[in-house]
Amino acid sequence: MLEKLIYFLITAVILLVIALLHVAYLTYAERKIIARMQQRLGPNRVGPRGLLQPIADMLKLLTKEDLVPYGVDKPIFYIAPFISLVCAGTGVALIPLWEKFVISNINVGLLFILALSSLSAYGVILSGWASNSRYAFLGGLRASAQVISYEIAMSLALLSVVLMAGSLNLMDIVKAQINSPYKIYLIPQIIAFYVFIISAIAECNRVPFDLPEAETELVAGYFVEYSAMRFAIFYLAEYFGMVVMSALAVTCFLGGWVGPFEVPYVPFFWFLIKLYFLLFVYIWVRATLPRYRYDQLMGLGWKVLIPVGIINLFLTALLKLIF
């Protein structure tokens, strides 16, 4: 029992450190890649090629003064960023990185991740509410509307996968993919994959759906009043969300750790390659697209994504019934 607990703790810490490193260097990668796309250099002062920039940023934000504006709802103001971070970060524990490496292999893994991502919206909404600022308030309202609408589309997309795999356990979903004739669910579920990716971008509040924090409209949206480490925690949560959503897409649509050939000693090589590709897509989209307007965003969610998701779900069910 104790051995099991220690093993569990060690793996959890290792995974957390790896995930945090990924998140930290995701910010670096984003800045570098976007810089290259926009014909500039990006961070290149701290360390060779600016490689230590994320660490410098973190140190800077840790040592800054933690400002609390007048009139905020203090307990909620303090706790909101942590709600975001915990809900976004916990999902990592459920993702099977490899056949033999998953911290928490629970039967309703998919549901659990969906529940967590819905909960992380609470951080956004509460921070917007507690900040006692009108911009933050508008950002919080936008976030709640957006997360609710896109949650449905995302669940519908994932439900088709669940129908095909016949399980909510993420490990089982990957195994079902390996045993299926397609090897990955991307081929039969291409529509669901598109719906999922678009909803995931919206769920993470990224361009072109970054309305809750629309910099040019609401200054910074829900975290406009935050400073220092609490501000950084919101960023961490956003990037954690990206990583978890991409990992979920890899698990549900791209066949998890399976690749065309096995790489010795690095069993999760293919998982990481697929993950990095999806993260690159996030960054790529950010450098390319303008921002949607609020009503257009809602229109896209309710009039396009949800009907498409429902039709896809029915088709999947029908085909499953026939064959």
Partner 1 sequence: MATYLEINKKQVNEEKWEEPFYLNMGPQHPSTHGVLRLFLELEGETIVNCTPIIGYLHRGVEKLAETLNYNQTIVLSDRLDYIASAANNTAFALAFEKLMGLEVPRRAKLLRTIVCEMARICNHLLWLATHALDIGAMTVFLYCFRDREWLLNIYEKICGARLTHTYVRVGGVRQDFTQEIIDELYKFTEEFPSRIYDYETLIDVNRIWLKRTKGVAVVPAEDAINLGLTGPVLRGSGVPYDVRKFRPYDAYGEVEFIVPTGKNGDTYDRYRVRMEELRQSNRIIRQCLDKLPETQGEPVVAENAPDLLMPEKIRKPEPKPVPKKGVIFKGEEIPVVPPGEAFASIESPKGELAVYVVSDGSNKPWRLRVRTPSFVHISAIPYMAKNHLIADLIAIIGTLDIVLGDSDR
User: Interface with partner 1 by CB under 8 A: which residues?
Assistant: 34, 37-40, 134-135, 138, 207-208, 210-211, 214-219, 286-296
Give, in order, the Cα–Cα distances in Å from 137 to each of 118, 130, 132. Answer: 19, 8, 7
Shortest spacing between CB 178 and partner 1, in angstroms: 37
Spatial contact of 279 and 242, defined as CB atoms under 8 Å apart: yes
The pair of three-digit structure tokens given for residue 119, joined into one six-digit string? 């909960």
Shortest spacing between CB 145 and partner 1, in angstroms: 10
With respect to partner 1, which residue has the nearer C-beta, 90 or 131?
131
Distance CA 168, CA 269 (A): 24
Distance CA 174, CA 255 (A): 6
Shortest spacing between CB 288 and partner 1, in angstroms: 7
Spatial contact of 193 and 316, defined as CB atoms under 8 Å apart: no
With respect to partner 1, which residue has the nearer C-beta, 96 or 139?
139
Shortest spacing between CB 136 and partner 1, in angstroms: 12
With respect to partner 1, which residue has the nearer C-beta, 73 or 217?
217
With respect to partner 1, which residue has the nearer C-beta, 173 or 214?
214
With respect to partner 1, which residue has the nearer C-beta, 26 or 102?
26
Distance CA 225, CA 74 (A): 12
Spatial contact of 135 and 220, defined as CB atoms under 8 Å apart: yes
With respect to partner 1, which residue has the nearer C-beta, 22 or 142?
142
With respect to partner 1, which residue has the nearer C-beta, 172 or 210?
210
Query: What b/e string do you get for 226-265 counting C-beta neighbours within 10 Å, with b at 16 or more?
Result: beeebbbbbbbbbbbbbbbbbbbbbbbbbbbbbeeeeeee
With respect to partner 1, which residue has the nearer C-beta, 154 or 211?
211
Shortest spacing between CB 41 and partner 1, in angstroms: 11
- Residue pointed to by tokens 């029908």: 318
Please list, in sequence order, all residues whose beta carbon lies within 8 angstroms of the beta carbon of residue 92, skipping any fewer than 6 positions away. Answer: 15, 16, 19, 240, 243, 244, 247
Q: What angle do helix axes 109-130 and 228-253 make, rounded to 10 degrees?
A: 150
Distance CA 283, CA 3 (A): 41
Shortest spacing between CB 98 and partner 1, in angstroms: 37
Which of helix, strand or coil describes residue 52?
coil
Shortest spacing between CB 117 and partner 1, in angstroms: 23
Strand partners, 101: 98
Shortest spacing between CB 138 and partner 1, in angstroms: 7
Shortest spacing between CB 209 and partner 1, in angstroms: 10
Name the nearest CA neighbour of 96 among 186, 174, 179.
Answer: 174
With respect to partner 1, which residue has the nearer C-beta, 11 or 144?
144
Spatial contact of 130 and 72, defined as CB atoms under 8 Å apart: yes
